[in-house]
Amino acid sequence: MAAAVEQTFTAIYSDADGYANLKSVNLLVVPVGGGTVNAILARYDRNENIITLANDSGVMPTTGGCAPGSTGILENSQGSINCQLTTVSGSGSDLTVTWKIPQKNTYAGSAAKPLKMRATDNSGVISGWSNKGSWTITPAPPPVVSISAVPGTIMAGQKTTLYFSCSNATAITIDQGVGPVTGLSFVEVSPAQTTEYTITATGPGGIVTARATVTVLAQTQLGLEILSPLQEDILSGPWVTVEGVVTTVADEVSITVNGMVALVSGNRFFANHVSLVAGDNLLAVKATDSFGRITEKSITVSRDYSLENIQLIAGVESGLAPLATTLRMEANFVFSGKPVVSYDGPAVATITETVVENTYDVQINTPGLYIFTVEALDENGIVHADSVAVLVMDKEALDTLLNAKWGGMKTALAARNIEGALAYFLESSKEKYRGALNAIAIDLPQIVTEFQSIELIFSSNTVTKYRINRQHIINGASVTLTYYIYFVQDENGTWRIEQF
């Protein structure tokens, strides 16, 4: 028979004078080469109701042992006896012992090991060893363990989550003061400095470790500065484009101006056409980074309704390279001559006038932030100008950012940490998915393993669309169905999952 992690043997020992005449019985798993040295040699003393296990030298202890059904493990280098799961019963001439023997990998091998039984009665008569088959002990599989930290980088004082999975183990511990985690799939930690966590899984197949590092950054300020307009500027139009810089070490930072999501490229941000009312206007800029830090700055400007103005509007303000968009001009004055459209950006942008008056087609092939400006003369020879920003995103960079969010969500689901997974969702989507995910919580680890990779399809303004394929059995046949995942920028400008 092939060995399991814990093998059960039912042995029946008989005495013509009744099982009560039996003093002790043995079970022997014979090593290669024979004998009782480096063997599994077990004995049950019926008179004392005690189980004992010989040491590696084949010598049976004269004290110690444990009773059948009692808590205790008897152990040598080849294997052990689980006393709690070993049972004894007697009827007529038969004494039945059900031995529960966890084997060790050190005793495994391709050669079958003979099984032998022996009995001794109360008068000292020994039956001699009887051959009763063999046991081929295959090695127990080693533990399989993994650990990851999500997020892997935090600010000092913040928390992160260690996610881990393990199989073929009876005990799991994590160092750095975490301790035993058997039966868990995630724990929160808050290291004061960059820390490597080692998870140790112990099982019949050995001891295996895995490691994850949490990088801890010193607390730094989330820097924010408004470059344009300036405090107390007097503006002509019903809107203003707000420009500034933000300083952070985070992977993601988002900006809003009076609740409007701004375009962010590197450390620069632009909020196109923030609405103004007559008189004084507060421009409140809010920066939020992926560490959860928030910084706010504000200035006051005023609008003069009596001034003439021009507005340059982009049909698509952000998208993946190559990006095609349109520019349209609107003004509250009559042009004197043809308006001039120019741009500033990291590469060439092609601007083509269309058949529609004051409308231009724009083609941009290189990622970056492009600022388009229109200048027009009125009938009094006064120049009026307006600018609009267009963000051309690098597909690989956006895909890396959103795939990391998708991966963090999957990791949480695989650990059945539903609230941790919901942190990646839009606030408006959480309740819907909370109910759905809790309903299938028991199956989430398996479902997540069946997820295929996601593929970025398009991104336009505040929406990014992915697709994911899943295999389904329909009418007995395997069919691939495509589902769509939508990431949307929330009210702070942070990308979150809307639906999948």
Arithmetic mean of pLDDT, 116-139 = 93
Going by pLDDT thresholds of 50, 70 and 90, the confidence category of residue 139 is confident
**pLDDT for 478:** 87
On the question of pLDDT at 45 being above 90, the answer is yes
Task: Give the tens place of pLDDT for each residue, 390-425.
Answer: 999 999 999 999 999 999 999 999 999 999 999 999
**pLDDT for 446:** 93
Task: Give the tens place of pLDDT for each residue, 210-219.
Answer: 999 999 999 8
Instruction: Compute the mean pLDDT over every residue in the chain, rounded to the nearest whole number.
Output: 94
Going by pLDDT thresholds of 50, 70 and 90, the confidence category of residue 5 is low
**pLDDT for 306:** 66
Arithmetic mean of pLDDT, 228-242 = 92
Residues found in the chain:
500
Arithmetic mean of pLDDT, 19-32 = 95
On the question of pLDDT at 4 being above 80, the answer is no
Task: Give the tens place of pLDDT for each residue, 99-114.
Answer: 999 878 878 877 889 9
DSSP result, 50-85: EEEE--TTSPPPSS--B-TTSS-EEE-SSBEEETTT
Query: How far apart, in Å, are the Cα atoms of 253 and each of 222, 246, 256, 425?
Result: 10, 8, 10, 17
Nearest to 367 by CA among 383, 389, 345: 345
**pLDDT for 387:** 95
On the question of pLDDT at 494 being above 90, the answer is yes
On the question of pLDDT at 289 being above 80, the answer is yes
Please identify which residue in the block is written with the tokens 């590197």.
Answer: 266
Task: Give the tens place of pLDDT for each residue, 253-288.
Answer: 999 999 999 999 999 999 999 999 989 999 999 999
Q: Which residues contact 416 (CB under 8 A, 6 or more apart)?
A: 185, 441, 444, 445
Please tell me what DSSP assigns to residue 449.
Answer: H
Please tell me what DSSP assigns to residue 103.
Answer: B
**pLDDT for 426:** 97
**pLDDT for 383:** 93
- Cβ atoms within 10 Å, residue 208: 17
**pLDDT for 155:** 95
Domains (range + CATH), the chain? 6-135 (2.60.40), 144-217 (2.60.40.10), 222-304 (2.60.40.10), 308-393 (2.60.40.1080), 396-499 (3.10.450)
Task: Give the tens place of pLDDT for each residue, 142-192.
Answer: 999 999 999 999 999 999 999 999 999 999 999 999 999 999 999 999 999
Nearest to 373 by CA among 327, 413, 407, 408: 327
pTM of the predicted structure, to 2 decimals: 0.78
On the question of pLDDT at 16 being above 90, the answer is yes
CB distance 261 to 255 below 8 Å: yes
Q: Which residues contact 289 (CB under 8 A, 6 or more apart)?
A: 222, 248, 250, 252, 253, 254
Tokens standing for residue 232? 């107390």
On the question of pLDDT at 3 being above 80, the answer is no
Task: Give the tens place of pLDDT for each residue, 303-335.
Answer: 987 678 899 999 999 999 999 999 999 999 999
Q: What is the CA radius of gyration of the chain?
A: 37
Does an H or E element contain 428, and which? helix 427-439
